[in-house]
Amino acid sequence: MPDLSHHFHFKAGSMSFSRRNFLIATGVAAASTSVLSACSSGSEGGSSQDKAPKVTGAKTVEIPVGTKADSTGPAPEVTGAVKGGTIYSLQQFDMDHMDPAQIYVSTEGAITVPIMRGLTGYKLDAKGNATLVGDAATDAGTMKDGGKTWSFTLKDGLKWEDGAEVSSDDLRHTFERLFATFVTEGPRYVQDFLVGGDKYKGPYEGKSLDSIEVDGKTITFRLKEARADFNFTLAMRAYSLVPKKHDTKEKYDKQPISCGPYKVESRNIGKSMTFVRNEHWDPKTDAIRNAYPDKYLFQMGYELVASTDRWIADKGTDQYAVPIFNEVAPERIAQVLTNAELKKRVLTAVDTVTYYWPINMTRITDLKVRQAINYAWPHQQLQTIGGGAYSQEIATTIFAPVTPGYTKFDLYGVDKKPGGDPAKAKALLKEAGKVGQKLVIAYQQSDTAVKTAVAIKNALEEAGFTVVNKQVDKSTFYTQIGKIDNDFDLFAAGWSPDWPNGYSQFYPCWSGKNIGDGRSNYAQLNDPSVNKAIDAASQIADVAEANKAWGNIDKMIMELAAVVPDYHKIRNYLYGSKVGNVIWDSANTCVALSKLYAKK
């Protein structure tokens, strides 16, 4: 076939792996957080127009928990915003799921902000600073027993798109249906946390879960362990409300019912989706969403180059288009960022993801060897291969600089020697008596994978290692490195927290409790002091205290050299000239859909 070719990925660039792998690779930030001081809109940062964004050392900000007043609608007006019009979007991918329980991918979480509401959610101020507030609940929840019991009260006046009142039954049902067998793709935090969750099989056989108690408009969750950040967990899209009456089980995935300001008017899977106003939504019940446009029209199937070119051209309805996940194509990034006019329409943001290379602790047991790998690492070369400073910030920590708790440190002298320090690495190997140590490195196929692998091999061999590179098919990559018994010493991975704190960053990947086939502690780090520190930090109710503790854990793990941090992802988004108030939604790691307006 003439037109069938080898070009499946010919312009994928930074998104060269499929989104589903991306999901696993980065730990999709369904409700992950980032902090705004690290983001700059092009119009503000005009002074250094051809300099790449720099995030290291950016001031991190806490995400505070809001009060009842903060949780009460309506959302504060955006200065200069006008009602009406249509906002468009050009998207590479459509959503695979519309049932909140099945949503884990950040795009799906972001795109559904206008139609789905959970008990809690993130409220953005004019600068984009986020606060955790009650969304369907009157406030961000009440904790008892140090976090083992949580209560939320449903707001009055909340209605589904058919006009029916949102009831406590709907609330209970929302959480009980998470246990049904068709829910396989969403996060499983709440299921694991709730007492009796391990035995419960869902509400469809007529049984209810006793650890969820409903009293009038109040719902109470009883958890196995104290979870001080449970209200952050609930802000994940997976825990948005589903009406019991309209729950069509697996079919709900295709016909979600809204209680937000918009509802799905039409959907053509893989092509387009339209949101129109939900007449039954009362702005007084919603502190988060402004709902300025009359309509949203999402257009799917646009490759990055195609969408970037349309945004550059800025013609017709594209003037009203915003990206959800379509970054500026790597091929166009220099053109866009060096053009002062275009740069005014660029939103630059740092993702919460950190790409890193876990070291298999069961195979590389000698600390000095692991340290040597860190010293020898060719950070700068890898940054260049990956698109340079426009799209990557060299990492020295596991935390991304935009996640609360981030503490800056650089244990292996990367700042001074970004190209690596082979002499130091060699000395350490010699000390350990491991010169010539063999390393088997696993990596996925991608546009830059081979270049990356060669750069790493060269750098490590210069330091005295013997390197074997193994390319692993991307569909089985995480299965293979996720096996307890695997043959790799070092592998490409990455993680972004599911909600904005250290627990979500460190427990899944670095707690000895989360070692197992298919689990995400890929390094299989099982260090008693780290385990203890993670458990302890999880219990700290004071956010500032907790953040300090998590920053320390980051340092502990780096001292153990269980991982080589690689880079933090910088994303650049171009948008149409007639879209107003394009700010970064730190909570959903995308453009804040509910704050936009169409300029007249």
Residues found near another protein in the complex (CB under 8 A): 1-5, 7-8, 10-11, 18, 20-21, 23-24, 27-28, 94-97, 104, 181-182, 184-188, 250-251, 253-254, 268-271, 300-303, 305-307, 309-310, 312-313, 315-316, 318, 473, 475-476, 478-479, 482, 498, 508, 516-520
Closest approach, Cβ 234 to another protein, in A, equals 17
Closest approach, Cβ 474 to another protein, in A, equals 9
Which residue stretches of 112-210 are H helix? 168-176, 189-193
Strand partners, 104: none
Dihedral angle at the C-alpha atoms of 502, 508, 509, 513, nearest 10 degrees? Answer: 110
Closest approach, Cβ 9 to another protein, in A, equals 9
When the beta carbons of 278 and 326 are compared against another protein, the nearer one is 326
Which residue stretches of 129-282 are H helix? 168-176, 189-193, 230-233
Closest approach, Cβ 389 to another protein, in A, equals 26
Closest approach, Cβ 104 to another protein, in A, equals 5
When the beta carbons of 20 and 408 are compared against another protein, the nearer one is 20
When the beta carbons of 278 and 307 are compared against another protein, the nearer one is 307
When the beta carbons of 28 and 87 are compared against another protein, the nearer one is 28
When the beta carbons of 301 and 388 are compared against another protein, the nearer one is 301
Token pair belonging to 131: 């606060």
Closest approach, Cβ 103 to another protein, in A, equals 10
Alpha-carbon 509 to chain mean position: 15
When the beta carbons of 68 and 251 are compared against another protein, the nearer one is 251
Token pair belonging to 367: 């600390």
- 46: number of Cβ within 10 Å: 12
Closest approach, Cβ 189 to another protein, in A, equals 8
Classified as helix, coil or strand, 330 is helix
Which residue stretches of 61-184 are H helix? 68-71, 106-111, 168-176
When the beta carbons of 375 and 443 are compared against another protein, the nearer one is 443
534 and 511 Cβ atoms separated by less than 8 Å: yes
How do beta strands 295-300 and 86-91 pair? parallel
When the beta carbons of 171 and 183 are compared against another protein, the nearer one is 183
When the beta carbons of 30 and 425 are compared against another protein, the nearer one is 30
Whose tokens are 């219990």? That residue is 539
Closest approach, Cβ 302 to another protein, in A, equals 4
DSSP symbols for 431-494: HHT-TT-EEEEEEE--TTHHHHHHHHHHHHHHTT-EEEEEEE-TTTHHHHHTSSS-S-SEE-EE
Over its C-alpha atoms, the chain yields an Rg (Å, rounded) of 24
Q: How far apart are the first and last CA of the chain?
A: 48
Closest approach, Cβ 394 to another protein, in A, equals 25
